[in-house]
Amino acid sequence: MKLANLLSPDRILLEMKAGEHWPAIVELIDHLVSVSSLEAGLRDEILDALKVREEQVSTGVGYGVAIPHAFSDKLDRVVTILGRSRVGIDFESLDEKPVHFVILFLVPKRDYHLHLQTLAAIAKMFTNIEIRRRLGAAECHQEVLDIFAGKASKPSTPPLV
């Protein structure tokens, strides 16, 4: 599963405003609603599901990454959003370090297997320090999508001919 297929430019926040765990999740959900990627009527239900999940154990998994996720029987597709914070978010992470990347996803209950596939794809990508460095330096939405699609980074200096 390519994460680039789950994201679009309107579902990437290059600079999150929230500085704490729960406000960061609310910011991402509100953004999904504002760009019509999530029905406004589902907002509170989804936030409740995310709250229950976060109360079990923080989804701040380390490496400056958090992966909040929840299920809903009212969704017909996986909904994903990436938020980046250069300052860092206190996400109550397992390693107690600030989170710089929050990738939140919502899965239809009937597609539970997608949850595990999505988690595995995210974990694989974000354990790579070079990927995290490139995502941190990305200046636009398309650059982020290119990283997720596995496209090579542009050289910082032109090659000598």
Res 12: pLDDT: 97
In the structure, what pLDDT confidence band is assigned to residue 150 with cuts at 50, 70 and 90? confident
- Predicted confidence (pLDDT) per residue in 13-24, tens digit: 999 999 999 999
Burial 76-107 (b: 16+ CB within 10 A, else e): eebbbbbbbbeeebbbbbeeeeebbbbbbbbb
E-assigned strand segments in 91-150: 99-108
Query: Mean of the pLDDT values across residues 68-81?
Result: 93
What is the H or E stretch that residue 51 is in? helix 43-56
Quote the pLDDT of residue 153.
60
Active site residues: 69
Comparison of pLDDT for 117 and 70, the residue scoring more: 70
Q: State the Rg of the chain over Cα.
A: 16
Task: Please check whether residue 69 is in contact with residue 115, taking contact to mean a CB–CB distance below 8 angstroms.
Answer: yes
Q: Is 96 left (phi over 0), alpha (psi -120 to 50) or beta?
A: left
Query: 3-148 domain in CATH 3.90.1150.10?
Result: no
**Nearest Cα to Cα of residue 138 among 124, 128, 148:** 148
What percentage of residues in the chain have a pLDDT greater than 90? 70
pLDDT of 7 reads 92
| pLDDT for the residue 154 | 56
What's the whole-model pTM score?
Answer: 0.89
Whether the pLDDT of residue 101 is over 70: the answer is yes
Q: What is the mean pLDDT of residues 105-129?
A: 85
Who's near 17: CB < 8 A, 6+ residues apart?
27
Domain limits, the chain: 3-148
- The reported pLDDT for the residue numbered 152 is 65
Q: Which residue has the higher pLDDT, 40 or 110?
A: 40
